[in-house]
Amino acid sequence: MTDKELKYYDRINSTFIGRKIIEVFYEELDYETDSEYWEHSTDIHSVDMNVILRLDNDELIQIKWDNEFYCYGIGFEKLTELDKREGIKTISLNENANWKNLTNKTITEMIVFWDESFSQELHKVGNDFVPKGEKKKITLPQTWQIEFGNEKIWISALEIKENGTDSYWADHLTILFNNNGQEKYQLIKNASTQQRL
């Protein structure tokens, strides 16, 4: 385990474990339509930007896709306030049945599921791109499993597209509220490694 991974786990542990979620918001690009967030099903939400949680210590935590390890993994940061930004809409999920069920429940454990791949630099030769140098192994935190005692949810850098194709390592977050969804998209099965916190 690298120092960078250890620091990531320590930040997750000190931020989330033992805390309760008080409020939930999604941030999405404002397409100026009436739809607020794409509800793939009643138990799967797909968000093109961020999930923001207000915890019981009044901290605002923004869960996002980022490039802390490699594009696009699950990252997070503390916010000082909910910013209103042009072109972005912030949606309250406090009355959503899935999130309401988890509000005020203690986060007891989290598991980070990592994915591995290889990257190789390319350079252009004429009209083609040709591999250059050695392949490098890359790993990123693809999915978080958040546990509230016996209940679990998954937040993944996964985009479920309307045409039936799925993109992992996506600039998108998908929240799955039951194990059937997790199994359908094989979040645990496809993970190369996992770390319980």
d(CA 126, CA 146): 48
SS3 92: strand
Say which residue, 43 or 70, is predicted with more confidence.
43
Average pLDDT over residues 53-78: 88
Least confident of 38-42, 51-55, 91-95, 146-150: 38-42
> What is the per-residue pLDDT across 107-163, written as a single tens digit (0 to 9) for each?
999 999 988 766 657 778 888 887 777 878 778 889 999 999 999 999 998 877 666
Say if residue 191's pLDDT is above 70: yes
**pLDDT above 70 for 37:** no
Question: To the nearest whole number, what is the mean pLDDT of the chain?
Answer: 84
Residues 56, 57, 58: CA angle, nearest 5 degrees: 85
pLDDT at 180 over 80: yes
- The phi and psi torsions of 101 (rounded to 5 degrees) equal -65, -25
For the chain, give every domain's residue range: 3-196
pLDDT at 28 > cutoff 70: yes
Q: Give the three-class secondary structure for 167.
A: strand
More confidently predicted of 46 and 32? 46
Find the range with the poorest average confidence among 22-26, 27-31, 73-77, 96-100.
27-31
pLDDT of residue 146: 97
Report whether the peptide linkage leading into residue 72 is cis, meaning its omega lies within 30 degrees of zero: yes
Task: Give the up-direction half-sphere exposure of residue 142: CA atoms within 13 A in the CB hemisphere.
Answer: 23
Report the C-alpha gap between 183 and 37 in whole angstroms.
23
